[in-house]
Structure 1
């Protein structure tokens, strides 16, 4: 199974100059768990999660409108491509301790895949692996 089969194409983003208040507004408006922080050129430079926003407000004791989102955005951003296998991106997530991975097609942000996306499809992924393991005559060798 490929990333493009599971990813969401509605990626919520904020500009690099956004505040945590603006990030939280997007989280609430779109009912998502994270927003991608984009550079002026449109490249992902970080991800802000709900937990990041709560932690920033608690630790700094400052209003969200005074905290730049880029200061708490997780970076470097781990990215993947639509043609990556779900098993590979799950490995990337585990290796980098992340739950959300932007999907890039070249320089274009085209989607987001999350650990939740993968978990919801786990039975299908297992079935696919099982089929491959039991049908070696269908394997194509290069």
Structure 2
């Protein structure tokens, strides 16, 4: 199964010069757990709920006084739409992240999260089963040709 089949295409963004409060308002308004931080329209990082909590706790300042550029996670960890979910989950694991921004070159196309993987688990298992069944069928057909 490919990333493009499960990714969310409604990407919520905010400018690197915004405040954490402004970015948090976007998250709440759109009911998402992160915003992609852009610099001149180019993805530059991501601000997650965890980043907001950490910034508020670490600085003990109001969110309206914390710049997104200081609180966001960077560099941005990305994946392409044509990558497999297996490759995406491996990337999440190796990078220690729960969200990957889906890009085509430098153009953001969406986001894929661990929740997207969980939500599509049944389809992933079905695809693995189908591949295994096809592989067995090919093996049996090859044996028939040898006889």
TM norm structure 1: 0.92
1:30 Cα deviation after fit: 0.3
Q: What does residue range 61-140 of structure 1 map to in structure 2 within 5 Å?
A: 61-136=60-135, 137=138
Match of 1:18 in 2: 18
Q: Displacement, 1:107?
A: 2.0
Distance 1:78 1:14 in 2: 17
Asked if the contact 2:11/2:35 (under 8 Å) is kept, the reply is yes
Distance 2:107 2:72 in 1: 20
- What is the CA deviation profile of residues 8-43 of structure 1, one whole-angstrom value per residue up to 9, with x for unaligned ones? 000000001011011110011000000010011x22
Residue 56 of structure 1 is matched in structure 2 by: 55
Larger C-alpha radius of gyration, 1 or 2?
2
Q: TM-score, normalised by structure 2?
A: 0.89
Paired residues in the alignment total: 137
Instruction: Render the CA deviation track for 1:74-96: whole Å, top value 9, x for unaligned.
Output: 11111011110111001000000
Report the CA distance between 1:129 and its aligned residue. Answer: 0.8
Correspondence for 2:145: none
Unaligned runs of 5+ in 1: none
Moved over 2 A (4+): none
Q: Which moved more, 1:80-89 or 1:46-55?
A: 46-55
Which whole-Å CA distance do the structure 2 matches of 1:75 and 1:106 have between them?
18
Report the secondary structure of 2:55's partner residue.
helix
Structure whose residues are more often helix by fraction: 2
